[in-house]
Structure 1
Amino acid sequence: MKNLIVFTIAVLIFIGCKSSPAVLMHQAAFYGEAQAVQQYLDAGVDPNSMTLSGTTSLHSAAYRGNAVVVGILLGNGANPNLIDGRGWIPLHQAVDQGHFAVVEILIEAGSDVNSRMLDSGYTALDWADIRQWPKVADLIRKNGGVKSAELNVGK
């Protein structure tokens, strides 16, 4: 509990005192503070709460490659298919940065490998190829991922 209090005070100083527990959990997820994230969840913070930009803690943890935090959030009910303000799901965030382990965790948790980014129409496989992450692309392909052009066939 002491760590949570110290972390909360540090975040409040850094981002201002108008922050809610959900925003503080989001920051903890971004910085990989697994213990703090768990404590916020234990205190009743919604794992699917969004910032004003529509980002969840799972989006941030996925983007940063924080596999432990991703696992904690998913284990506490975080939805791996919520879209953020850009129309990305956490899988897109992990693919963007080439975080293989996080991509694997998200796929195992039911992330939609063929979800399209609303801002571009790309799928996770498209994005893995564009970002030149061949191992990530292979993992997505092995789990049913296709390119956006393949989703358009027959339409």
Structure 2
Amino acid sequence: MEELITFLFEASEKGNSQKVNEILNNDSSLIHAENEHGLTLLGISAHFGQFEVVKTLVKHGVEINAISHSKLSFIPQNTALHAAIAGAKSIEIIEFLLTNGADPNLTDSEGNTPLHIAAFEGNSVIADLLVKFNAKIIKNDAGKTPLEIAEDRNNIDFINVLNELTK
């Protein structure tokens, strides 16, 4: 079973949606599997920008707001939406996740919402999309809002978009 899960995660990371579909058709319970690091299939696929795999997982009924149980110190426990924004930043995937029920206000294990993650790199396109899906501006566990993170990092475009969107 462990070997099959490893194979499933490799197929997800590499974008082999056909293989992912085949494995899940044979054992639908694997949709909820985590890898040895506690990461989810949807999170891995979204992080690596594998849109066809993300669509396949959603078609198979993946829990879109599942929070990983990351055992890696540099990856907080988070949702696929967080992972998509921290990774490949595929607007197509981010919008697909949001359209299919991803909650833009869920926090990771550090209290960051997806908007906080977008603020770290100043991604104003993602900020715009998140706000359109009702992302709220809240403080993370460090007491910072996405706007404050963007200000600390001098991400002017992000600041301007967020100020404009939240008027």
Asked whether the 8 Å contact 2:122–2:156 carries over to 1, the reply is no
2:17 aligned residue: 4
Deviations 1:5-53 (A, max 9, x none): 44689xxxxxxx9x71781111000000011101101100011011014
Provide the C-alpha distance between the structure 2 equivalents of 1:20 and 1:92, rounded to a whole number of angstroms: 27
Provide the C-alpha distance between the structure 2 equivalents of 1:129 and 1:8, rounded to a whole number of angstroms: 43
Asked whether the 8 Å contact 1:82–1:89 carries over to 2, the reply is yes
Asked whether the 8 Å contact 2:20–2:56 carries over to 1, the reply is no
| TM-score computed with the length of structure 2 as normaliser | 0.73
Asked whether the 8 Å contact 1:8–1:24 carries over to 2, the reply is no
Which of 42, 50, 71 is 2:67 aligned to? 50
Provide the C-alpha distance between the structure 2 equivalents of 1:140 and 1:106, rounded to a whole number of angstroms: 10
Which of 133, 140, 154 is 2:162 aligned to? 140
Asked whether the 8 Å contact 1:63–1:96 carries over to 2, the reply is no
Determine whether 1:29 maps to 2:51: no
1:20 aligned residue: 33
Asked whether the 8 Å contact 1:66–1:102 carries over to 2, the reply is no
1:127 aligned residue: 149
Q: How many Å apart are 1:3 and its aligned residue?
A: 3.0
Asked whether the 8 Å contact 1:116–1:123 carries over to 2, the reply is yes
Deviations 1:108-153 (A, max 9, x none): 11000x21111x11111111111111010011111227xxxxxxxx
Determine whether 1:106 maps to 2:130: yes
Unaligned runs of 5+ in 1: 10-16, 146-155
Unaligned runs of 5+ in 2: 1-14, 23-29, 71-76
2:94 aligned residue: 70
Query: Deviating runs (4+, > 6 A) in structure 1?
Result: none
Determine whether 1:40 maps to 2:57: yes
Percent identical residues: 25
Count matched residues. Answer: 134
